[in-house]
Amino acid sequence: MLQTIKTNLIIWRSTLSNKSIINLVTMLKKIYPLVAGIMAAYFVLMLGVFPQIYSNPEIGIPKPTLEVTVPQQVKLGESFEMTLSSNNIGADADLQTVTVEFPQNQNLDNIKVVSYDFLQSPKLFVPGKQIGSSYNGNKNPVEAKYPFLEAYNRPSRTGHSSSITLQITPTEAGVFTIYTKTVAMPHISDQSYYPKQGILDQQNEFVQEHKVMVVP
C-alpha cells in the first residue's frame, strides 16, 4: 500500500512539473513578439535617433533676441521713451535678462520705468555694487562703474516675448549714450546672448550702443 502511494506521488509531481513547463513555454511564446519589438525600438533609438540629437549643437540652447526703439535726437529738457522687446527663439532657459546701461550717468534719477511685462520686476544697479561678469553670473564679480537697469524672466520659455519702456530725460546737451544687451542662463554658447560681438561693457559682455543727440 505504501509503495503504491509513493508511486502515485511521483507520477503527480511529474505531471505537475510537465504542466508548469508547458505553461511557461506558452507564456514565453506570447510575450516574445513584445520583447522583440521593445528591443528593436531600443536599437533604433541608440543607433539612429540619439546620435543625431547628441551631435546637434542647436539642441537645448536658448537663443535670446532684442529689438530696441529709441529716437536719434531730442531737445534738452525734454524726455524721450525707449522700448526694448526681447524674445527667446531657442530652448527654454532658467533665466533671461535684458539690460539697459547708462555709462555717462552717476545715478538713475533721470530714468523712469513706464511699463513692462516681464515676469519679475526690473532691478536697479548703482555704481559700487558687486555684479557678475563674463557671462558667468556671480562667479566672477566686478564692481559696477556706472548705473544700469535689468529686467528679466525666470524662467524664459521658448517663444516668450517681453518688453519694457523707459522714460529718459537727458540733463546735458551733446551725445547721450546707452548700452543694451540680453543674456540667457545657463550660458551654453554664443547663441545664449545678444549681441554676439561689438563693444564690451563693464561686465566684459557685448552690448549694442545707442547714441541720442541732445540739442540745446
My answer on whether 46 and 68 are in the same domain is no
My answer on whether 206 and 138 are in the same domain is yes
186 falls in which pLDDT band (50, 70, 90)? Answer: confident
My answer on whether 45 and 71 are in the same domain is no
**Which residues in 81-115 are b (16+ Cβ under 10 Å) and which e?**
ebebebbbebbebebbbbbbbbbebeebeebebee
Tally the domains of the chain. Answer: 2
CB atoms within 10 A of CB 160: 17
| Range(s) of the domain holding residue 199 | 64-215
My answer on whether 5 and 82 are in the same domain is no
- Using DSSP's 3-state secondary structure scheme, residue 131 falls into strand
Mean pLDDT for the stretch of residues 168-195: 95
My answer on whether 100 and 157 are in the same domain is yes
User: Of 13, 34, 56, which one is at a domain's C-terminal end?
Assistant: 56
My answer on whether 81 and 160 are in the same domain is yes
Determine which helix (DSSP H) or strand (DSSP E) holds 23, and give its type and residue range: helix 2-44
Contact between 205 and 97 under an 8 Å Cβ cutoff? The reply is no
Contact between 203 and 132 under an 8 Å Cβ cutoff? The reply is yes
My answer on whether 125 and 193 are in the same domain is yes
More confidently predicted of 31 and 194: 194
More confidently predicted of 32 and 52: 32
My answer on whether 187 and 85 are in the same domain is yes
Domain harbouring 197, CATH code:
2.60.40.1510
Give the integer Cα–Cα distance in Å for 88 and 137.
19
My answer on whether 148 and 102 are in the same domain is yes
SS3 content of the chain, % helix, strand, coil (to 5): 25, 35, 35
My answer on whether 111 and 182 are in the same domain is yes
My answer on whether 114 and 209 are in the same domain is yes
- Using DSSP's 3-state secondary structure scheme, residue 102 falls into coil
In tens, the pLDDT along 98-127 reads 999 999 999 999 999 999 999 999 999 999
My answer on whether 24 and 97 are in the same domain is no
- Look up the pTM and report it: 0.72
In tens, the pLDDT along 8-31 reads 545 545 554 555 556 655 665 666
| Cis-peptide, bond into residue 155, ω within 30° of zero | yes
